[in-house]
């Protein structure tokens, strides 16, 4: 059986070659590897930052560095880091998610948010509406979302940071509408009025997150974008950066942006994960990576991907002009900070769970 | 028309069916329509999307370093999981079909467990066990072994999910073959290994191959369980999901690779299905060849 022997020989050789290719060591290079765990819509931004930072760091220190960024819903990513996913840096959608990593896994120093300028937020954003061409359902403001024939797309507040900003922006809108001014929140004499306004807001959110109104709750902002692009819903409550990216990518005329009367200032912070960089010996590179985001080059990149730069001095004027003026309130001013907002609204048994009836 | 059938002639194939022509046509049309709508159309859509931007974009997507890395990881996971599950499957099927022992029913039931547990849950079980805060976390930390969010975790999760494939294929086959041949071999003085290599294995080889192919297809196609425990390195299925959110064409190019894998599996499977009854028939005729 000569042919058979040949056949077996060839098979053995082929599987040997395959095994060599599969297990063969990856090109063992001298480069330092950094893992950046980020939220869903930052893919394009960090793809560009990665290359620019590698170049700048090479010039500065002579060292080659490769930054790998993983993306998903912000809350989901935080949980993964808590469970042991060894991120050197985290660039998440909201401060609470990084704080949760500190509280539940003790991986960061307590003062993490004051270690970098602007509360460790190199860029900010806000929540606006993306509607289909010609705005056929005439959606102008938050109130229009509750019209019976309007379907809404938002990701899931349990897993997505953008969705939590959506939720809080809507809540703030109702408070502002009912109270006229956020100053009343601090006024003890208006306590009763504030309680009534909060009740109204809760009712608004209950209607907004009704399964008939919001049939799909994706895990992250990018998944929600794809859902909206696939034809579901009349309005997409989107990160400003994500909405502009959709406009840019799908050409003119398919979608339109609607700026509501008021929205929330969304502050996505960044942080070095102390315990991990100390274990990997990558603190120097990780800190340089985050600082790079604050350089004029990093800020320009953020603006080019439609994130509002925190330090616009070195950013070309035409990039700054693309941001439409939006009236924004801050989470500290209306909700008393993320820790409180998270506990009241999004933790298990919180208001979000209550209005969803779980 | 069935009523006009001459009685003397032996009924030809298909004539035993008495339904009128239009019912037969309608049923065939419904079946083909379903097949086209639910199977062929989505399959075609994958390739249409993959080639939307032409051959060059297709090749560029497939030769992207991250995709190459995903192909390598997928092969690596399969290269570990399939042989291990093959050894286990043969051992389990051997034990269950050739011996009587207490707890046999329990073992048979347990083998099926991965079929009934959702893959996502399987992944979460491993996180619970091996994550730094999990049951074995501190111990793994002490010996500097990373399982969760690393390749070992993905291999473990795949092992769990594809556990039953080989065993499930072999158990009925070996049970139907009985133990007479093994007993005869023993009576003629063969040792345990000899019996296994020269009697049992030749008898089950096609069924075994069939099980291995199915096991391999599931290994490479697994998503839920590996998605929970994956870290930086991605398998092909995870790469498709990641690309889907950034670059549709590339996502579908990689998806077309997985589809091709499915088609190859299907062809091999059909070949084997044709081979297995043939082998059984040959044996029935007392044919004993190499």
Nearest residue to B59 (alpha-carbon basis) of B248, B257, B239? B257
Class of domain A125-265+327-356: alpha beta
pLDDT tens string B234-275: 999 999 999 999 888 999 999 999 999 988 988 998 888 887
Task: Give me the pLDDT at residue B18, please.
Answer: 76
CB contact under 8 A, A22 and B231: no
Does any CB of chain A come closer than 8 Å to the CB of residue B245? yes
Residues of chain B positioned with their CB less than 8 A from the CB of A68: 232
CB–CB of B162/B221 below 8 Å?
no
| Cα A132 from Cα A230, distance rounded (Å) | 12
Task: Give me the pLDDT at residue B289, please.
Answer: 42
B286 torsion bin: left (phi>0), alpha (psi -120 to 50), beta (else): left
Q: How many CB atoms lie within 10 A of CB A184?
A: 16
Cα A118 to Cα A89, A290, B96, distances in angstroms? 17, 13, 67
CB contact under 8 A, B245 and A226: yes
| Cα A35 from Cα A43, distance rounded (Å) | 14
Mean pLDDT of B73-93: 95
Residues of chain A positioned with their CB less than 8 A from the CB of B140: none
pLDDT of B288 over the 50 cut: no
Query: A-B interface: how many C-beta pairs under 8 angstroms?
Result: 45
Task: Please name the residues in contact with A200: beta carbons below 8 A apart, sequence gap of 6 or more.
Answer: A174, A178
Residues belonging to chain A: 358
Does any CB of chain A come closer than 8 Å to the CB of residue B127? yes
CB–CB of A92/A72 below 8 Å?
no
Digitized pLDDT (tens) for each residue of chain A, 358 residues in all: 567 788 888 888 888 887 777 766 555 568 899 999 999 999 999 999 999 999 999 999 999 999 999 999 999 999 999 999 999 999 999 999 999 999 999 999 999 999 999 999 999 999 999 999 999 999 999 999 999 999 999 999 999 999 999 999 999 999 999 999 999 999 999 999 999 999 999 999 999 999 999 999 999 999 999 999 999 999 999 999 999 999 998 877 899 999 999 999 999 999 999 999 999 999 999 999 999 999 999 999 999 999 999 999 999 999 999 999 999 999 999 999 999 999 999 999 999 999 998 6
CB contact under 8 A, B290 and A1: yes
Residues of chain B positioned with their CB less than 8 A from the CB of A70: 232
Does any CB of chain A come closer than 8 Å to the CB of residue B180? no
To test the contact with chain B by mutation, choose from A33, A84, A218 the residue with the greatest count of B C-beta atoms within 10 A, namely A84
| More reliable by pLDDT, B97 or A238 | A238
CB nearest to A83's CB, from B69, B146, B148: B148
To test the contact with chain A by mutation, choose from B120, B144, B232 the residue with the greatest count of A C-beta atoms within 10 A, namely B232
Q: Rounded to the nearest 10 degrees, how much is the dihedral formed by the CA atoms of A142, A146, A152, A154?
A: 60
To test the contact with chain B by mutation, choose from A16, A17, A22 the residue with the greatest count of B C-beta atoms within 10 A, namely A22
Name the residue with tokens 């009854």. B277
| Cα A197 from Cα A209, distance rounded (Å) | 18
Is A56 exposed, middle or buried, given 0-12, 13-18 or 19+ CB atoms closer than 10 A? middle
Does any CB of chain A come closer than 8 Å to the CB of residue B136? no
Cα B275 to Cα B13, B198, B205, B282, distances in angstroms? 24, 20, 11, 10
Per-residue exposure over B149-184, b if at least 16 CB sit within 10 Å of its own CB, e if not:
bbbbbbbbbbbbbbbbbbbbbbbebbeebeeeebee
Secondary structure element (H or E) that encloses residue B65, with its range: helix B65-98
What distance, in Å, lies between the first and last C-alpha atoms of chain B? 49
CB contact under 8 A, A82 and B133: yes
Residues belonging to chain B: 290
Residues of chain A positioned with their CB less than 8 A from the CB of B146: 86
Q: How many CB atoms lie within 10 A of CB B261?
A: 16
Half-sphere exposure of A172 (CA within 13 A, CB side): 28
Residues of chain A positioned with their CB less than 8 A from the CB of B246: 43-44, 222
Mean pLDDT of B191-220: 92
Strand partners, A72: A39
Task: Give me the pLDDT at residue B286, please.
Answer: 47
| Cα A302 from Cα A123, distance rounded (Å) | 7
Does any CB of chain A come closer than 8 Å to the CB of residue B244? yes
Task: Please name the residues in contact with A117: beta carbons below 8 A apart, sequence gap of 6 or more.
Answer: A294, A310, A311
| Cα B111 from Cα A151, distance rounded (Å) | 46
Question: CATH: 1.10.3720.10, 3.40.50.2300, 1.10.287.3510, 1.20.1530.20. Which one for B54-284?
Answer: 1.10.3720.10
Q: Where in chain B is the domain with CATH 1.10.3720.10?
A: 54-284
* Joined tokens for residue B185: 């071999």
* CA geometry: angle A348, A350, A351, nearest 5 deg: 145
CB nearest to A22's CB, from B79, B127, B131: B79
Distance, C-alpha B273 to centroid of its chain: 14
Residues of chain B positioned with their CB less than 8 A from the CB of A82: 133
CB contact under 8 A, A43 and B246: yes
Write the DSSP symbol of residue B36: I
- Minimal C-alpha gap between B5 and chain A (Å): 52
CB nearest to B127's CB, from A26, A68, A83: A83
CB contact under 8 A, B76 and A86: no
| Cα A177 from Cα A138, distance rounded (Å) | 20
Does any CB of chain A come closer than 8 Å to the CB of residue B79? yes
| Cα A221 from Cα B245, distance rounded (Å) | 10
| Cα A54 from Cα A62, distance rounded (Å) | 10
Cα B288 to Cα A269, A279, B66, distances in angstroms? 73, 63, 50
CB contact under 8 A, A222 and B148: no
Residues in chain A whose Cβ is within 8 Å of chain B: 1, 18-19, 21-23, 26, 35, 40, 43-44, 68, 70-71, 80, 82-86, 105, 222-223, 226
| Cα B111 from Cα B114, distance rounded (Å) | 7
CB nearest to B133's CB, from A43, A70, A83: A83
Q: Where in chain A is the domain with CATH 3.40.190.10?
A: 32-121+268-321, 125-265+327-356
- Minimal C-alpha gap between A222 and chain B (Å): 6
Q: How big is chain A by its Cα radius of gyration, in Å?
A: 23
Q: How big is chain B by its Cα radius of gyration, in Å?
A: 24
To test the contact with chain B by mutation, choose from A24, A77, A83, A101 the residue with the greatest count of B C-beta atoms within 10 A, namely A83
To test the contact with chain A by mutation, choose from B245, B247, B249, B289 the residue with the greatest count of A C-beta atoms within 10 A, namely B245
3-state secondary structure of A33: strand
CB contact under 8 A, A83 and B132: yes
Class of domain A32-121+268-321: alpha beta
Cα A30 to Cα A63, A86, A318, B33, distances in angstroms? 8, 20, 40, 57
């Amino acid at each position: 059986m000569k042919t058979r022997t040949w056949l077996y020989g060839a098979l053995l050789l082929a599987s040997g070659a395959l095994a060599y290719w599969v297990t063969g060591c990856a090109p063992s290079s001298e480069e330092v590897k950094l893992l950046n765990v980020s939220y869903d819509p930052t893919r394009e931004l960090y793809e560009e930052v990665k290359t620019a930072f590698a170049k700048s760091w090479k010039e500065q220190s002579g060292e080659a560095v490769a930054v790998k960024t993983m993306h998903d819903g912000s809350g989901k990513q935080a949980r993964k880091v808590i469970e042991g996913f060894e991120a050197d840096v985290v660039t998440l959608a909201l401060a609470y998610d990084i704080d949760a990593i500190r509280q539940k896994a003790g991986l960061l120093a307590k003062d993490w948010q004051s270690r970098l300028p602007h509360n460790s937020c190199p860029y900010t954003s806000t929540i606006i509406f993306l509607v289909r061409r010609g705005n056929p359902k005439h959606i102008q403001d938050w109130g229009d979302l509750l019209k019976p024939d309007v379907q809404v797309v938002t990701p899931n507040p349990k897993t997505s940071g953008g969705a939590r900003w959506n939720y809080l922006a809507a809540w703030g809108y109702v408070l502002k509408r009912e109270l006229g001014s956020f100053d009343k929140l601090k006024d003890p004499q208006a306590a009763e009025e504030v309680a009534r306004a909060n009740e109204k807001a809760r009712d608004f959110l209950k209607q907004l997150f009704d399964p008939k109104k919001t049939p799909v709750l994706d895990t992250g902002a990018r998944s929600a974008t794809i859902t909206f692009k696939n034809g579901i819903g009349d309005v997409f409550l989107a990160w400003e950066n994500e909405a502009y990216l959709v406009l840019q990518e799908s050409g003119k005329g398919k979608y339109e942006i609607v700026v509501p009367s008021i929205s929330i200032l969304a502050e996505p912070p960044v942080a070095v994960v102390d315990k991990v960089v100390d274990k990997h010996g990558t603190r120097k590179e990780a800190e340089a990576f985050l600082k790079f985001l604050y350089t004029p080059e990093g800020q320009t990149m953020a603006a080019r991907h439609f994130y509002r730069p925190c330090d616009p001095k070195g950013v070309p004027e035409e990039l700054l002009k693309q941001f439409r003026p939006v009236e924004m309130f801050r989470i500290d001013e209306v909700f008393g900070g993320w820790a409180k907002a998270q506990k009241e609204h999004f933790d298990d048994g919180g208001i979000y769970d209550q209005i969803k009836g779980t | 028309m069935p009523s006009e059938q001459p009685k003397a002639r032996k009924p030809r194939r298909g004539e035993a069916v008495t339904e009128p022509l239009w019912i037969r046509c309608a049923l065939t049309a419904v079946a083909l329509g379903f097949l086209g709508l639910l199977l062929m159309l989505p399959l075609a859509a994958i390739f249409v999307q993959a080639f939307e931007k032409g051959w060059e974009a297709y090749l560029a997507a497939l030769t992207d370093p991250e995709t190459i890395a995903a192909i390598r990881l997928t092969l690596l996971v399969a290269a570990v999981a399939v042989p291990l599950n093959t050894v286990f499957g043969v051992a389990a099927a051997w034990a269950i079909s050739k011996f009587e022992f207490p707890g046999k029913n329990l073992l048979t039931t347990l083998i099926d467990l991965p079929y009934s547990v959702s893959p996502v849950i399987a992944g979460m079980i491993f996180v619970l066990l091996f994550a730094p805060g999990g049951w074995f976390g501190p111990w793994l930390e002490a010996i500097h072994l990373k399982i969760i969010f690393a390749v070992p975790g993905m291999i473990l999760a795949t092992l769990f999910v594809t556990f039953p494939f080989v065993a499930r294929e072999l158990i009925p086959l070996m049970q139907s073959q009985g133990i007479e041949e093994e007993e005869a071999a023993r009576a003629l003085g063969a040792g345990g290994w000899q019996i296994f290599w020269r009697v049992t294995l030749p008898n089950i080889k096609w069924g075994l191959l069939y099980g291995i192919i199915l096991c391999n297809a599931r290994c490479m196609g697994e998503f839920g369980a590996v998605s929970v425990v994956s870290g930086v390195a991605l398998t092909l299925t995870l790469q498709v999901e990641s690309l889907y959110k950034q670059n549709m064409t590339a996502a579908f190019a990689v998806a077309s690779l997985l589809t091709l894998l499915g088609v190859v599996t299907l062809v091999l499977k059909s070949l084997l299905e044709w081979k297995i009854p043939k082998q059984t028939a040959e044996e029935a005729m007392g044919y004993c060849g190499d």
